[in-house]
């Protein structure tokens, strides 16, 4: 019986383990779930058939070799920065590898050796990155096959609340890593191209440059730009494209509200705050405001951000209990971002009844036989419960499907890959569709960026 070694037993693995378990008997393989915390691995395994939990220490070379050696293929669901350590061991021990994370420069550097060893290192095979790549390339290749030329590609994705759980003024709760939400957009300028013009959005303006998107039956959303959309020109073969833009989706109004934290400096992760463990929420807010012997913290904040007391932005701040003078940050040497995350987690953590939702929206502008056209493709996935979340499903299923395709030698082109070839995306998208992850397409006339009220220069 072949072994699949799954390293990392976090929340995103629930659907992955269930999928592999259901396939294990007919496909004749065993799943070894490995984690440094053995109790977490055992909890993840539950009573799934052909599953076994083991303790695994990525920084213990003997432990790595002991568990990787008998495996036919390895799945790393560890934090992205740790994949490279697993990759090096897989290369040494001649094992295929699957991860859901972006390909790092260190991982790219292994490509020649991976090809020489005849191995497949499949990366970016989750939801975003992952399903976004595959669904986009399927339409792009179809347009090219018909003789069309791609003029515009825009792609957006968001992890949000299912409509029945959307019950706060922000229309948002943490459905994934809270830290990634708090520091989103930092560390660089958002870069993209529109109608042949390069555009740049610095961090302090990022959340005030949004685009509206409508999805049938789910209403209106907004999107702000991801860090560097230009990276995808080469990957997708779109070097001559006029418009290329990728963004993150939220409900309308979120970005304007989040921008208040950005302007105050509360999302900064570059310095630590003195005596942060004893700082109250109110003192945290006050630390970013001017001193006044008479004005309250509330009044100073409203003046600083120019918010009227009947503005919905003010109501959103009040909902977070930001001005509480009893609750403490409780984190030593916290950065502002860490302190803000602590406050938000209190209000934005999912309750046991909450369900999440993944939304994805692609726009393809193209020219075919002298006529300009546009395809809009949308996907909505709703979570079932706190275990089988939409996030776990849209991350776990592509990982699991790709793993079995590689295991059965149906995906076998050697190298360090992302899932943009037909060999990869066609069978995976087909099986995702069978599992309810379906894109709906709508054809319109492409009018360029002016079609959404913008300007061409």
Strand 73-76, strand 96-99: pairing: parallel
Which runs of consecutive H residues, i.e. helices, occur in 229-354?
Answer: 232-236, 254-264, 281-286, 297-305, 312-319, 336-348
Q: Are residues 183 and 319 in the same domain?
A: no
d(CA 83, CA 124): 12
Q: Are residues 285 and 171 in the same domain?
A: no
d(CA 85, CA 106): 10
The CA-based angle 434-437-440, given to 5 degrees, is 110
Q: Are residues 371 and 336 in the same domain?
A: no
Residue where one domain finishes, among candidates 64, 97, 122: 122
Q: Are residues 104 and 188 in the same domain?
A: no
Strand 51-55, strand 29-35: pairing: parallel
**What's the pLDDT at 45?**
93
Residue where one domain finishes, among candidates 316, 348, 380: 348
Q: Are residues 137 and 114 in the same domain?
A: no
Q: Is residue 375 one of the residues assigned to a domain?
A: yes
CB atoms within 10 A of CB 115: 15
> Of 379, 380, 383, which Cα lies nearest the Cα of 354?
383
Q: Is residue 263 one of the residues assigned to a domain?
A: no
Q: Are residues 246 and 361 in the same domain?
A: yes
Q: Is residue 457 one of the residues assigned to a domain?
A: no
Q: Are residues 249 and 358 in the same domain?
A: yes
32 token code pair: 């070894």
Instruction: Identify the DSSP state of 280.
Output: B
> What is the CATH number for 429?
3.30.360.10
Q: Are residues 10 and 117 in the same domain?
A: yes
Q: Are residues 390 and 330 in the same domain?
A: no
Q: Are residues 167 and 245 in the same domain?
A: yes
Q: In sequence order, what are the beta bridge partners of 161?
A: 356
Q: What is the DSSP string of 344-399?
A: HHHHHSPPTT--EEEEEEEEEEEEETTEEEEEEEEEEEE--SSSS-HHHHHHHHHH
Q: Is residue 262 one of the residues assigned to a domain?
A: no
Q: Are residues 329 and 359 in the same domain?
A: no
The structure tokens 């590609």 sit at 153
What contacts 222, CB < 8 A, 6 or more positions away?
Answer: 210, 211, 212, 213, 249, 250, 251, 252, 253, 254, 255
CB atoms within 10 A of CB 37: 12
Can you state the percent helix, strand and coil of the chain, rounding each to 5?
Answer: 40, 25, 35
10-residue mean pLDDT series, the chain (457 residues): 95 93 95 96 92 93 93 96 95 97 96 98 96 98 97 97 97 94 93 96 96 96 95 93 97 98 97 98 98 96 94 97 98 98 97 96 96 97 94 97 97 97 97 97 80 41
> Of 250, 259, 256, 257, which Cα lies nearest the Cα of 223?
250
The structure tokens 């299923």 sit at 397
Q: Is residue 44 one of the residues assigned to a domain?
A: yes
Q: Is residue 366 one of the residues assigned to a domain?
A: yes
Residue where one domain finishes, among candidates 95, 122, 149: 122
How many structural domains does the chain have?
A: 3
- Residue 61: domain span: 2-122
The structure tokens 């930092």 sit at 186
d(CA 313, CA 260): 9
Q: Are residues 149 and 161 in the same domain?
A: yes
**What's the pLDDT at 449?**
56
The structure tokens 């916290």 sit at 334
Evaluate whether 123 touches 418 at the Cβ level (below 8 Å).
yes
């Amino acid at each position: 019986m072949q072994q699949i070694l799954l390293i990392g037993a976090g929340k995103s693995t629930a659907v992955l383990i269930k999928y592999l378990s259901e396939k294990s008997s007919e496909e004749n393989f065993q799943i070894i779930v490995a984690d440094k915390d053995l109790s977490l691995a055992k909890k993840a395994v539950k009573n799934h058939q052909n599953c076994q939990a083991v303790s695994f220490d990525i920084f213990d070379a003997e432990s790595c070799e002991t568990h990787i050696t008998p495996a036919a293929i390895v799945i790393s669901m560890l934090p992205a920065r740790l994949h490279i350590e697993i990759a090096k061991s897989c290369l040494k021990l001649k094992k295929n590898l699957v991860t859901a994370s972006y390909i790092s420069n260190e991982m790219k550097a292994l490509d020649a050796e991976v090809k020489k060893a005849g191995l497949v290192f499949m990366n970016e095979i989750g939801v975003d990155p992952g399903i976004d790549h595959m669904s986009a390339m399927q339409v792009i290749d179809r347009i090219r096959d018909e003789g069309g030329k791609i003029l515009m590609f825009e792609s957006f994705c968001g992890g949000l609340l299912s409509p029945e759980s959307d019950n706060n003024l922000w229309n948002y709760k943490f459905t994934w890593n809270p830290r990634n939400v708090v520091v989103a957009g930092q560390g660089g300028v958002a870069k993209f191209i529109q109608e042949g013009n390069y555009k740049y959005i610095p961090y302090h303006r990022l959340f005030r440059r949004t685009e509206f998107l409508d999805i049938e039956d789910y209403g209106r959303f907004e999107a702000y730009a991801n860090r560097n959309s230009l990276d995808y020109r080469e990957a997708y073969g779109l070097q001559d494209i006029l418009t290329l833009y990728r963004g993150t989706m939220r409900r309308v109004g979120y970005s304007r509200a989040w921008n208040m934290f950005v302007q105050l400096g509360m999302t900064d992760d570059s310095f630590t705050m003195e005596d942060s463990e004893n700082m109250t929420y109110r003192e945290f807010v006050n630390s970013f405001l001017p001193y006044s012997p008479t004005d309250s913290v509330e009044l100073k904040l409203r003046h600083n951000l120019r918010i009227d007391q009947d503005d919905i932005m003010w109501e959103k701040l009040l909902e977070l209990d930001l001005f509480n003078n009893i609750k403490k940050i409780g984190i030593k040497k916290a950065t502002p971002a860490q302190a803000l995350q602590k406050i938000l987690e209190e209000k934005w953590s999912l309750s046991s009844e909450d369900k999440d939702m993944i939304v994805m929206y692609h726009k393809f502008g193209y020219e075919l036989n002298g006529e300009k056209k546009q395809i809009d493709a949308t996907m909505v996935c709703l979570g079932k419960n706190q275990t089988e979340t939409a996030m776990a499903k849209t991350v776990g299923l592509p990982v699991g499907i790709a793993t079995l395709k590689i295991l059965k030698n149906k995906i076998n082109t050697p190298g360090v890959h992302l899932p943009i070839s037909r060999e990869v995306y066609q069978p995976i998208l087909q099986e995702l569709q069978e599992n309810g992850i379906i894109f709906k397409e709508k054809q319109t006339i492409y009018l360029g960026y002016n079609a959404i009220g913008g300007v061409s220069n």
